Amino acid sequence: MKLLDRLANIDRRLIFLTIGFVVAIPIILKLKMPIRISSEVRSAYETIENLPGGSVVLASMDYDATSAPELTPMFRSFLRQCFRKKLKIVYTGHLAIGLPLAQFDLDAITQECNAVYGEDYINLGYRPGYTAVMIGIGREIRDFFAVDYKGVSVDSFPIMKGVHNYNDIALIVDFAHGSAAEYWIQYVVSRFGVKMFACVTGVMAPTLYPYLQAGQITGIIGGLQGAAEYEMLVGQPETAAFGMPAQSIAHIAIIAFIIFGNIGYFVMKRKK
């Protein structure tokens, strides 16, 4: 009974420490595990694969440092896939702090893929207004983004020739940790009929499944699991795929804590 009493009242710091250990050990030992590809991630991947070369893809960075471990691997894989397919990327976003953060990875992958600024991709920077900007691009992108993030006229870049509104954009990919993906679907996809898939945090993923079920989006890459699957599909496993063993073992530990805690709780309750 003493053991059960302890189980029912485990010090939360002990739980933190245990979780810390079970996460750190697989990372240190560089454990690997097989990753099964889900239909929603494969569908997102195939959306890009099916685009003809030279198509323009709008990437919206709607996340910041608080969700970077989940979304950064997705963004890196997305860039690799797009540049491999010779697609053009228009980079923008609605979180002022998120854009420069993701730019570290943009710079790294463009260098790796030998992508040329202004021809293969462009950074339009940030504009406030959220939904107003999303809808406004449907009329003319230059109404909001007359210049790129360095203040250079977008008309001076070959990538922007003939790109005026959603008619000229083949796909929107939103990297979001909040409601931005839902805004894109509700304000843009439904109104302008442009294709979209969402790369979101685990917290946001369940809210997007109804949109996938309804056919409003073509795929969901959700959380670290989704990022790991996408990395495997693109063929360059990185932080997400290597983080999955730690993720799985941590889940087992949490489930064990929940079971032990509940056993202790119910036994103590019956005793009283």
Partner 1 sequence: MNLLGTWIAAGLTIAILSFLYRDNPLYKFAEHLFVGVSAGYWVIYIWAFDVKPMLVDEFFRQTGVEKWLLIVPAIFGVMMMMRWFRGAAWISRWPISFTVGIAAGLALTAQVQGYIIPQIQATLRPLVSIGNNTSEAINQSINNVVIFVGVVCALLFFYFSREHKGALKVGSKIGVVFLMIGFGASFGYTVMARISLLIGRLTFLLQVFGIR
Does residue 157 touch partner 1 according to CB under 8 A?
no
Beta carbon nearer to partner 1, 127 or 164: 127
Does residue 33 touch partner 1 according to CB under 8 A?
no
Instruction: Map 163-179 to HEC letters.
Output: CCCHHHCCEEEEEECCC
The one among 18, 43, 69, 118 contacting partner 1 by CB under 8 A: 69
Does residue 219 touch partner 1 according to CB under 8 A?
no
The distance of closest approach from Cβ of residue 150 to partner 1 in the complex, given in angstroms and rounded to an integer, is: 10
Rounded (10°) angle between helices 68-84 and 223-234: 20
The distance of closest approach from Cβ of residue 180 to partner 1 in the complex, given in angstroms and rounded to an integer, is: 13
Q: Beta strand pairing status for 220-222 and 88-93?
A: unpaired
User: By rule CB under 8 A, what string of x and - marks binding of each residue 39-68 to partner 1?
Assistant: ---------------------------xxx
Beta carbon nearer to partner 1, 100 or 118: 100
Does residue 189 touch partner 1 according to CB under 8 A?
yes
List the 121-126 sheet strands across, edge first.
121-126, 88-93, 56-62, 171-176, 195-200, 220-222
Does residue 127 touch partner 1 according to CB under 8 A?
yes
Does residue 260 touch partner 1 according to CB under 8 A?
no
Please name the residues in contact with 14: beta carbons below 8 A apart, sequence gap of 6 or more.
none
The one among 48, 141, 169, 205 contacting partner 1 by CB under 8 A: 205
SS3 138: coil
Task: Dump strand ranges (E) for the chain.
Answer: 56-62, 88-93, 121-126, 171-176, 195-200, 220-222
Residue-by-residue DSSP string for 194-208 = -EEEEEE-TTTHHHH
Does residue 237 touch partner 1 according to CB under 8 A?
no
The distance of closest approach from Cβ of residue 30 to partner 1 in the complex, given in angstroms and rounded to an integer, is: 7
The one among 6, 84, 161, 191 contacting partner 1 by CB under 8 A: 191
The one among 197, 222, 232, 264 contacting partner 1 by CB under 8 A: 222
CA atoms within 13 A on the CB side of 69: 9
Label residue 18 exposed, middle or buried (CB < 10 Å: 0-12, 13-18, 19+): middle
Q: State the first-to-last Cα distance of the chain, in angstroms, to the nearest integer.
A: 12
The one among 19, 31, 37, 267 contacting partner 1 by CB under 8 A: 19
Q: Which of 120, 112, 106, 49 is nearest to 75 (CA)?
A: 106
The one among 5, 6, 27, 32 contacting partner 1 by CB under 8 A: 27
Which residues make up the interface to partner 1 (CB under 8 A)? 13, 16, 19-20, 23-24, 27-28, 30, 66-70, 96-97, 125-128, 131-132, 135, 144, 146-147, 149, 151, 183, 185-187, 189-191, 201-203, 205-207, 210-211, 213-216, 222-225, 239, 242-243, 246-247, 250-251, 254
